[in-house]
Amino acid sequence: MGTYEIPIRGLKEGKTSYNFLCDKAFFSQMEDSLVENGNLEAVVDVKRSGDIVRLGISITGTIKATCDICLGEFDYEVEDCGGEITLKLGEKFEEVGDDVYEVDRSEEGLSVAQWLYEFVCVSLPIRMEHPRDENGERTCDKEMLKKIAEYSSENQERETTENEKSGEKAIDPRWAILKGLKDED
């Protein structure tokens, strides 16, 4: 069986739990993954009663995220995301409803990787920001914020005039700074 598979053929009645690690290798096998790296533990409770198999999926850990404010990397906490998937043992693999799938009962195992990935992705906010500390202050990269503020005020006026001329959208100051830093190296 593959790394992220639960048994299908010969699955016993009742409940069994499986643990999976969602790390860099896991996310790298996902097509166009929104997440590059992480350290998450997924618990999949598999409960069979007759031809119905219910999967209760719960995922906790961290993913590597890039802060949208300061562009710094940080560990974003994913707390207990997941959901339920219902499988019906049958003849082939087919989605038959919302989170309900027919599966081929003769298959040895079934990969749950795609579901784990999707549960993680839907739990992520659209905007990634450094968490706040106990004083309610953002734990952003202070140096970077200073540079962004300086750059923005220095260039605001000039950019506005230039943009009026060219009609082009202003380059995001954060990217301009990053580009500047890279060029210095």
Binding site for Zn ion (CB under 5 A): 67, 69-70, 72, 130, 140
Q: Rounded to the nearest whole angstrom, what is the least distance from the CB of residue 169 to Zn ion in the complex?
A: 23
Task: Pick the closer one to Zn ion by CB: 131 or 180.
Answer: 131
Dist. CA 185–CA 169, nearest whole Å: 27
- Alpha carbon separation from 75 to 64, 167, 168 (Å, rounded): 5, 38, 35
Say which residues have a Cβ less than 8 Å from residue 127's Cβ, sequence separation at least 6: 68
* Residues 101 and 94: beta-carbon distance below 8 Å: yes
* Residues 35 and 120: beta-carbon distance below 8 Å: yes
Q: Rounded to the nearest whole angstrom, what is the least distance from the CB of residue 138 to Zn ion in the complex?
A: 6
Task: Pick the closer one to Zn ion by CB: 65 or 112.
Answer: 65
Q: Rounded to the nearest whole angstrom, what is the least distance from the CB of residue 46 to Zn ion in the complex?
A: 39
Task: Pick the closer one to Zn ion by CB: 92 or 132.
Answer: 132
Please name the residue ranges forming H helices in the chain. 24-28, 113-123, 142-166, 173-184
Q: Rounded to the nearest whole angstrom, what is the least distance from the CB of residue 72 to Zn ion in the complex?
A: 5
Task: Pick the closer one to Zn ion by CB: 121 or 145.
Answer: 145
Q: Rounded to the nearest whole angstrom, what is the least distance from the CB of residue 141 to Zn ion in the complex?
A: 6
Tokens of 15: 């409940």
Task: Pick the closer one to Zn ion by CB: 69 or 100.
Answer: 69
One-character DSSP codes across 11-32: PPSEEEEEEEEE-HHHHHTSTT
